[in-house]
Amino acid sequence: MNEITPAARYGIDPYLDWLKNEGLPVTEHYGIDLFSVETKPWARYGVNGAAVHLKGRGDFCNMFLFDIAPGASTMP
Q: Is the pLDDT confidence value at 14 over 90?
A: no
Q: Is the pLDDT confidence value at 1 over 70?
A: no
Q: Which of 65, 27, 71, 72 is nearest to 48 (CA)?
A: 65
- What is the dihedral sign for C-alpha 34, 39, 23, 74? positive
Query: pLDDT band for position 6 (50/70/90)?
Result: confident
Q: Which of 25, 13, 22, 24 is nearest to 58 (CA)?
A: 13
pTM of the model: 0.76
53/40 Cα distance (integer angstroms)? 16
Q: Which of 26, 20, 54 is nearest to 39 (CA)?
A: 26
Task: Give per-residue pLDDT as tens, 46-76.
Answer: 999 999 998 887 767 789 999 999 999 999 8
pLDDT at 25: 95
